[in-house]
Amino acid sequence: MADVSRLPAALVAHWDWQRQAACRDMDLEIFFHPDGERDPSRSQRVARARAICDSCPVEKACRDWAHQVEEQYGTWGGESEDERRLVISRRRRHARQGASAPRPAA
């Protein structure tokens, strides 16, 4: 079962940006890999998706959303799954380091 704990409440404000997305109503195969896809096909597909994202008015909102919910699949905001996994991993590592850092004396 999918972990939905990172998803925000179902408020229109959380989703409204998607109505302006350049990819809206496009073929999702451009943004999500088929089973067994490998390079160079994968790199070419991601490049096509990025070209669409580059002209998208909500590219940053899309990428921020994918980071917030830790989206595991697809190209979001011009960022591939592998790139996003790295960003999320770094964010988690920094959060752990910050939580374990000693607090300064008052």
CA-CA distances (angstroms) from residue 88 to 3, 93, 102?
16, 9, 24
Residue ranges covered by each domain of the chain: 12-99
Is residue 18 a known part of a binding site? no
29-70 pLDDT, tens digit per residue, is 999 999 999 999 999 999 999 999 999 999 999 999 999 989
Q: Read off the pTM.
A: 0.77
Is residue 62 a known part of a binding site? yes
What whole-number distance in Å separates Cα of residue 33 and Cα of residue 75?
Answer: 9
CA quadruple 31, 55, 9, 13: dihedral sign: negative
